[in-house]
Amino acid sequence: MAEKLTFTMIKPTAFKNNNTGAILKMINEAGFTIKAMKLTRLTPALAGEFYAIHKGKPFYDALVQFMSSGPIVAALLEKENAVEDYRTLIGATNPDNAAEGTIRKLYATSFQQNAVHGSDSDENANLEADFFFSKTERI
Ligand code: CMP
């Protein structure tokens, strides 16, 4: 049921600003069920691997540095139409373009520090979930 799953990370700045509870509340109230979750910290190598698709882009090195700068919360979420509905909930990648009431509009502090990551396809949701969670870490 790949189309029912998406993956998210609450990024270091949002975690540091104690926005984790508010963001998880928005996720639950939007109808997503948490299927796996962990508080962790990425090494630069792991952050680089996670964002390997962006390697070579002007923002890549700074993104890797930022994503390994502090704790993050990783979670696997379930809902019908999960990928698309979660992207609607979080808003545009650049918070300047994010709709009112979205997670990024409320909690992002910059394009790079945009509060949360959300998978952009069912295929990537599965890859990203596998990156963080073993079978026994999922319900
Ligand atoms: P995310 O959804 O985690 O996927 C890739 C991340 O790269 C994105 O959110 C932003 O944090 C960051 N990013 C993408 N484009 C830019 C950009 N032009 N400038 C700075 N950061 C960017």
- Within a 10 A sphere around the Cβ of 4, how many other Cβ atoms? 16
- d(Cα 58, Cα 113) in Å, to the nearest integer? 15
Q: Is 117 a catalytic residue?
A: yes
The 3-state DSSP class for residue 36 equals strand
Cα(113) to centroid(ligand 1), Å: 8
- 59 in ligand 1 pocket by Cβ < 6 Å? yes
Read off the pLDDT of residues 18-63 as tens digits, 9 standing for 90 and up.
999 999 999 999 999 999 999 999 999 999 999 999 999 999 999 9
Nearest CA to ligand 1 atom 13: 112
Q: How far apart are CA 22 and CA 109, in angstroms?
A: 16
Whole-number pLDDT of residue 1:
43
Give residue-wise pLDDT tens across range 108-124.
Answer: 999 999 999 999 999 99
Q: Which entry of 91, 108, 117, 129 is annotated as an active-site residue?
A: 117
Q: How confident is the model at residue 92 (pLDDT cuts 50, 70, 90)?
A: very high
* Encoded amino acid at 118, one letter: G
Q: Is residue 7 predicted with pLDDT exceeding 60?
A: yes
Query: What domains can you pick out in the chain, each with its CATH number?
Result: 5-137 (3.30.70.141)
Distance from residue 51's CA to the centre of ligand 1 (Å): 10
Per the CB < 8 A criterion, the answer to whether 19 and 120 are in contact is no
Average pLDDT, the chain: 97
Task: Give CA torsion, residues 83, 86, 87, 90, to 10 deg.
Answer: -160
Q: Could you tell me the distance, in angstroms and rounded to a whole number, from the CA of residue 13 to the centre of ligand 1? A: 14
Per-residue confidence at 3, pLDDT binned at 50, 70, 90? confident
Pocket test residue of 112, 127, 128 for ligand 1, highest count of atoms within 8 A of CB:
112
d(CA 23, CA 40): 17
Gap from CA of 136 to ligand 1 centroid (Å): 31
Entry pTM: 0.96
* Residue 109, ligand 1, Cβ within 6 A: no
